[in-house]
Amino acid sequence: MFARKGFHASRVGDIAEEAGVAHGLLYHYFRSKEEVLETIFRETWGVLVVETQRIEESGGPLREQLRRFACIYLGSWLITPEAICVLVREIARSPDVGGRVDEIGAVFRGLARMIAAAKSRGEVRADCDPVLAAWVVYGSLEEILTGWVLGQLPGEEDDVERAVSTVVDVAHAGLAP
């Protein structure tokens, strides 16, 4: 419903109807449509946090870690495009995003640690700032998702694979010693 009508235009009754439940039952589980939106964020972002930790713990070469992260992040478009639309349109631009900094930061910190570990292994140039590099990698992925959501980039399966390869190739080449 949020993806189709937007958060502000959606009513609790619309959400209940879409879910196939009574209006009152929705209020049994959620206090407001804001809480529904928050739940979408927490559940979706929670998966990314867990997957980022798994990728980091694998300790593989940075190129492979970046590829796995990009595949999960951009691949979500093919699995749940409606959820991605909501995340990009409603949550990322929400004034409440500041309250989610700790949850959002977990992904950035994980990427930064992957880059720092690769730097210590000699896979990344010595003058690289792992924190800024993590933001660059994430930012490029986020903008590609935004391009798909806004219909400015083609977003079919082969486009997703091409986007993953491009981001990984460009980031890895830029980080290389």
Dump pLDDT digits (tens) for 94-153.
666 555 556 678 899 999 999 999 999 999 999 999 999 999 999 999 999 999 999 999
**Taking the chain, what is the end-to-end CA distance rounded to the nearest angstrom?**
47
CB contact set of 76 (below 8 Å; sequence gap of 6+): 44, 83, 84
Domains in the chain, start-ordered, CATH in brackets? 34-175 (1.10.357.10)
- C-alpha 155/C-alpha 84 separation (Å) is 12
- C-alpha 164/C-alpha 26 separation (Å) is 38
- C-alpha 146/C-alpha 152 separation (Å) is 8
Mean pLDDT lowest for which of 3-7, 9-13, 108-112, 166-170?
Answer: 3-7
- DSSP type of residue 22: -
What pLDDT, in 10s, does the model give residues 48-105? Answer: 889 999 999 998 999 999 999 999 999 999 998 988 888 888 766 666 655 555 667 8
**148 and 142 Cβ atoms separated by less than 8 Å:** no
Q: What is the pTM of this model?
A: 0.84
